[in-house]
């Protein structure tokens, strides 16, 4: 800790004051022999940048407990053990994802709701052979069920509006038959609707603070808008990886950590990973290296040249606004 310099005359005039007992500081003393590398890391950690108030204090809860709960529940929908790269619907999955995203946008649903609805669809389609004649009905029912679980009630699209928007009414479906489709979705999901997409996890990371005071942006100090651009990149990578089923071979929390790292790399934030992020995410850099490379290579394939060129926050804002 830096201290102000004191002249000899000032020091000469100072009176001797006995050292106060340590307990007056409010912190327990830890002798030198008991200080560990972890203790040193904690003392040297940087404060989050752009976070005015702790999310724990705002919500009056320990959000780390919520993250632990996400890590436990994430395997209900996505994990290496339930990854099925031979599922029969996969050649058509990209079209389903794009269609469901478009329906969600027209219904003005949150992006997280659409991500959850697609996880519902994936869980059903990878384990059951659903006739193609029912795909549109099941996909729409997944959107409706996800909206009822994720959104406020007033934001849930009315069934008649959904039927008209998706043209299911032209195929002879009524509100009653659609209700039956929703019940079928619920049965397929075992009535367990808590899905954890990476976008949920990213929201937690950013709310806690994933950029730090001593981070460097292109070799310079951070500017005020950096957190906004990290958020834009992170959401972009979440949407990008949602389109490709192979990313479901990773746990959502692991993929979210890799996406956070990709966002920092894309904005040329240094260091790319740091002890504070290990503490935040629970993942060492070596544990997400493979996932990060998958994300970055896919990004480079879909947007040739972007992965190799310098990107400024201004260009990010223009590209994703």
User: Mean pLDDT throughout 254-269?
Assistant: 95
pLDDT, mean over the chain: 83
How far is the C-alpha of 16 from the C-alpha of 141, rounded, in Å?
A: 77
Between 56 and 321, the more confident residue is 56
Helix (H, G, I), strand (E, B) or coil at 42: helix
How far is the C-alpha of 299 from the C-alpha of 105, rounded, in Å?
A: 23
Residue 263 has pLDDT above 90, yes or no: yes
pTM of the predicted model, to two decimals? 0.80
The burial class, CB within 10 Å (0-12 / 13-18 / 19+), for 161 is: exposed
Write the pLDDT tens digit of every residue in 270-315: 999 999 999 999 999 999 999 999 999 999 999 887 655 545 444 4
List phi, psi (to 5°) of 217: -110, 115
Write the pLDDT tens digit of every residue in 92-129: 999 999 999 999 999 999 999 999 999 999 999 998 88
For residue 216, the surrounding DSSP H or E stretch is: strand 216-217
Assess contact for 266 and 311: CB atoms under 8 A: yes
How far is the C-alpha of 209 from the C-alpha of 202, rounded, in Å?
A: 10
Two structure tokens written together for 127: 């384990």
């Amino acid at each position: 800790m830096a201290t102000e310099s004191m002249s000899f005359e000032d020091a000469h005039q100072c009176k001797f004051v006995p050292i106060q007992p340590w307990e007056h500081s409010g912190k327990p003393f830890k002798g030198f022999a008991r200080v560990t590398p972890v203790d040193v890391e904690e003392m040297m950690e940087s404060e989050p940048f752009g976070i005015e108030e702790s999310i724990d204090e705002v919500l009056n809860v320990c959000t780390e407990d919520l993250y632990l709960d996400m890590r436990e529940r994430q395997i209900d929908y996505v994990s290496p053990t339930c990854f099925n790269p031979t599922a029969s619907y996969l050649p058509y999955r990209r079209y389903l994802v794009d269609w469901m995203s478009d329906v969600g946008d027209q219904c003005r649903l949150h992006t997280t709701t659409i991500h959850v609805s697609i996880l519902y669809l994936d869980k059903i389609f990878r384990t059951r052979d659903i006739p193609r004649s029912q795909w549109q009905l099941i996909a729409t029912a997944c959107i409706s069920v996800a909206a009822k679980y994720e959104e406020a009630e007033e934001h849930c699209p009315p069934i008649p509006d959904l039927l008209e928007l998706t043209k299911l009414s032209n195929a002879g479906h009524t509100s009653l038959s659609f209700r039956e489709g929703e019940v079928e979705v619920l049965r397929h999901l075992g009535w367990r609707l808590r899905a954890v997409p990476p976008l949920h996890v990213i929201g937690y990371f950013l709310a806690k603070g994933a950029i730090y005071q001593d981070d460097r942006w292109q070799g310079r100090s951070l500017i005020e808008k950096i957190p906004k651009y990290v958020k834009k990149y992170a959401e972009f990578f979440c949407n990008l990886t949602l389109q490709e089923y192979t990313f479901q071979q990773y746990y959502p929390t692991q993929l979210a950590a890799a996406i956070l790292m990709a966002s920092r790399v894309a904005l040329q934030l240094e260091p790319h990973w740091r002890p504070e992020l290990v503490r935040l995410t629970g993942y060492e850099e070596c544990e997400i290296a493979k996932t990060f490379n998958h994300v970055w290579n896919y990004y480079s394939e879909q947007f040739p040249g972007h992965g190799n060129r310098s990107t400024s926050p201004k260009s990010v804002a223009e590209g994703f606004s």
